[in-house]
């Protein structure tokens, strides 16, 4: 795994957006794996800007988001579909039928998970998967202890994850208790992975990751064995890792 240290959130966002833009320039029908959360917000803004500057089209791109809350439909203001609409989809020419997220209202959740996996396969697999990382090392909604062999599945959100996301809802109670998430094996099948981390609140988890132990107790550590994974992290996120990194 490659580590890239950048100065701050803006540099992280710009570099990630350049890599995403380059992927679309290189492969106009690329399949992109997308993430939500605070971390990639500014990256999406730069992606819109850089792709517009280069007059790149998303017409033939397909996107697959990591996860979606159970119980929230696409039109719900807190659904990840709405997040994506706000930050990316409304601003680009990606056909609506090419923007995939798990269906949080599916009557049969298991069938929905299988459908999502099959769709990714049909699209030829994910060329470039964007990830954030939780303070506990989760990727997608795969919390510590999730098997590395997991595929898209139903998860019960941990209290710490619900609390971390409560700022987007009217109250903690309003945060859904379950979600559908790509599994860890779904994520690691991606040809290339880009994990972004910014801010002091990620410093502990990156220091853990830098110790180099691959364990299901730290889901992001699976990336240490991936052939083409890069972490772009800013100085704050690497505050406790720099010494180890230079060893
Ligand atoms: P954040 O979430 O980008 O809002 O910090 C990251 C994650 O939990 O994966």
* Whether 67 is catalytic: yes
Specify the pLDDT at position 242.
Answer: 61
pLDDT band per the 50, 70, 90 thresholds, residue 97: very high
Specify the pLDDT at position 160.
Answer: 87
**CA 68 to ligand 1 center in whole angstroms:** 14
Q: Which residues, 6 or more positions from 219, have their beta carbon under 8 angstroms from its beta carbon?
A: 137, 138, 139, 142, 143, 144, 146, 184
Ligand 1 atom with the shortest distance to the CA of 135: 8
Tell me how far apart the alpha carbons of residues 47 and 92 are, in angstroms, rounded to a whole number. Answer: 10
81 pLDDT exceeds 90? yes
Task: Locate the DSSP E strands across 54-94.
Answer: 62-65, 67-69
Specify the pLDDT at position 101.
Answer: 98
Specify the pLDDT at position 243.
Answer: 44
Sort strands 128-131 and 192-197 into parallel, antiparallel or unpaired: parallel
Per-residue pLDDT, averaged over 138-145, amounts to 96
- Phi first, then psi, for residue 170 (nearest 5°) are -70, -30
Dump pLDDT digits (tens) for 7-27. Answer: 999 999 999 999 999 999 999
67 pLDDT exceeds 60? yes
Specify the pLDDT at position 246.
Answer: 41
188 pLDDT exceeds 90? yes
Best mutation site among 37, 130, 223, 234 for ligand 1, i.e. most ligand atoms within 8 A of its Cβ?
37
Specify the pLDDT at position 244.
Answer: 46
Going along the chain from its start, the domains and CATH numbers come out as 18-193 (3.40.50.1360)
Ligand 1 atom with the shortest distance to the CA of 39: 3
Tell me how far apart the alpha carbons of residues 81 and 11 are, in angstroms, rounded to a whole number. Answer: 26
Residue among 182, 176, 149 at smallest CA distance from 161: 176
**CA 84 to ligand 1 center in whole angstroms:** 14
Tell me how far apart the alpha carbons of residues 98 and 109 are, in angstroms, rounded to a whole number. Answer: 21
Dump pLDDT digits (tens) for 219-233. Answer: 999 999 999 999 999
Q: Confirm or reject: Cβ of 179 under 6 Å from ligand 1.
A: no
């Amino acid at each position: 795994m490659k580590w890239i240290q950048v100065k701050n959130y803006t540099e992280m966002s710009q570099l990630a957006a350049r890599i995403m833009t380059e992927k679309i320039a290189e492969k106009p029908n690329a399949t992109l794996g997308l993430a939500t959360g605070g971390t990639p917000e500014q990256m999406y803004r730069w992606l819109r800007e850089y792709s517009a500057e280069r007059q790149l089209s998303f017409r033939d791109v397909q996107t697959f988001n990591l996860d979606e809350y159970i119980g929230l439909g696409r039109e719900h203001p807190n659904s990840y579909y709405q997040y994506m609409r706000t930050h990316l989809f409304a601003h680009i020419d990606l056909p609506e039928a090419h923007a995939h997220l798990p269906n949080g209202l599916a009557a049969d959740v298991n069938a929905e998970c299988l459908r999502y996996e099959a769709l990714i396969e049909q699209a030829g697999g994910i060329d470039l998967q964007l990830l954030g990382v939780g303070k506990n090392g989760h990727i997608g909604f795969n919390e510590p202890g999730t098997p590395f062999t997991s595929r898209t599945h139903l998860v019960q959100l941990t209290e710490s994850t619900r609390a971390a996301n409560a700022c987007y809802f009217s109250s903690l109670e309003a945060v859904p208790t379950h979600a559908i998430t790509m599994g860890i094996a779904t994520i690691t099948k991606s040809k290339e992975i880009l994990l972004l981390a910014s801010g002091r609140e990620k410093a502990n988890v990156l220091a853990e990751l830098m110790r180099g132990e691959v364990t299901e107790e730290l889901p992001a550590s699976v990336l240490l064995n991936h052939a083409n994974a890069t972490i772009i992290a800013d100085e704050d996120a690497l505050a406790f890792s720099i010494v180890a990194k230079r060893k």
